[in-house]
Structure 1
Amino acid sequence: MIRYATAADLDAVTALHAEARATYYRGHLPESAYAGPDELARSRTGWTGAIDRGAVLCAELDGEVAGIAAYGERDGVMFLSQLHVTPAHWRRGVGSALHTACVEAWQAAGVTTAVLEVFEENERAQAFYAAQGWAPDPVSPHSGNHLVLRLTLAPEAE
């Protein structure tokens, strides 16, 4: 089941975010950059704001948060800022369901293009996004150690 996150989900959302990030940053960045106390506090503050804005989707499996997605407008462009699935639920369709929910919300809002950034060492996520139709942004393909991907959306079917 896909639903919008509430304040009651904050602990589960921040824990899932930390677990997922560790899977692709470990060995590439210092642990303090993704799991240190300052980073975890910053992350919690960010998720609190996103949940309060109604910008976070949760995927539930067996009564637990198995995946999360957050999006919003940045400089006039729809931006998928987070899409994470707990590793225990990889390859079960959770990420695809979250992605579909995002795309449907964007189409309903008349969005025609979305962008995201993916860590350049995270080949698993890159393959996922490519399968969903994302391609390198032709204008700005990199942002630091992240690749910038763009998705062109078909108009919502009436």
Structure 2
Amino acid sequence: MPATTRDVTIRQATGDDLQAVLVVGRTTWPATYYSIAGEDYIQAGLAKWWTEEATIPAIRAGRVTVAEVDGQVVGVATVGPRDGHLVLWKLYVLPEHQGRGIGSALLDAVLENAREDQHEVQLSYLDGNTSAAAFYRHQGFVEFDREAGGGGVPDDIWMRRFLRPADDADDPAGDPS
């Protein structure tokens, strides 16, 4: 029987989750990006972002959240800073567990954790990743920027979601941007 969100445990990753987190990345990247950006992009991303060296610091810093079904990590979300903002750098769910609310549960956990001290959460996805675009729009994210990919790589489309109204003391005009 397929897992539902009731069967999913969302928690902060620990060092014991390292290999499982890497399996999620190494499984989802080819499935997600092959038709959008090609083999070279996949291999470069796997070598840069889905290694022990790249993942251990994020786990140690408490920036990785995992989704677990029956004791198996099936999804991962990673956040980190960029230009003074919190960015959702990774949100991936194993293909056989997609469409069951696991990605939404991971995102909800990230947003809840950020709500206390962040005004917004930003993220990017590759142009052409229509599944990501639809998912994030459905979750209340709106596009605010685009960065040219170059070298045959599609553009990065940047989205954000405001978590709370702008603090009038921080911005007298009340402008959330």
**TM superposition score normalised by structure 2:** 0.78
Tell me which amino acid in the other structure corresponds to 1:117. S
Written as runs of structure 1 = structure 2, the 5 A alignment for 1:123-134 is 123-134=130-141
Q: Which residue of 1 aligns with 2:93?
A: 85
Q: Does 1:40 align with 2:47?
A: yes
CA distance in structure 1 between the aligned counterparts of 2:125 and 2:68, rounded to whole angstroms: 24
Report the equivalent of 2:108.
100
1:65-90 deviation per Cα after TM superposition (whole angstroms, max 9, x unaligned): 01100002222111110000111100
Cα distance, 1:149–1:39 mapped onto 2, change above 3 Å: same
CA distance in 2: counterparts of 1:143 and 1:79, whole angstroms: 18
Cα deviation digits, residues 65-123 of structure 1 (max 9, x gap): 01100002222111110000111100111001001000100112x21111111011110
Task: Choose from 141, 144, 154 the match for 2:146.
Answer: 141
How much has 1:42 moved relative to structure 2? 5.0
1:122 pairs with 2:129? yes
Structure 1 pair 63/115, CA: closer, same or farther in 2 (3 Å)? same
In 2, Cα distance between equivalents of 1:40 and 1:141: 24
Is this contact kept in 2: 1:117–1:143, CA < 8 A? no
Contact 1:60 1:67 in 2 (8 A): yes
Distance of 2:143 and 2:95 partners within structure 1: 25
Contact 1:59 1:67 survives alignment (8 Å): yes
- For residue 5 of structure 1, what is the amino acid of its counterpart? A
**Identity among equivalent pairs (%):** 33
Choose 127-136 or 71-80, whichever is displaced more: 71-80
Unaligned runs of 5+ in 1: none
- Superposed CA offset, 1:33-89 (max 9, x none): 3236x8436521211221111110001111110110000222211111000011110
Runs of 4+ with deviation above 6 angstroms: none
Query: What TM-score do you get using the length of structure 1 for normalisation?
Result: 0.87
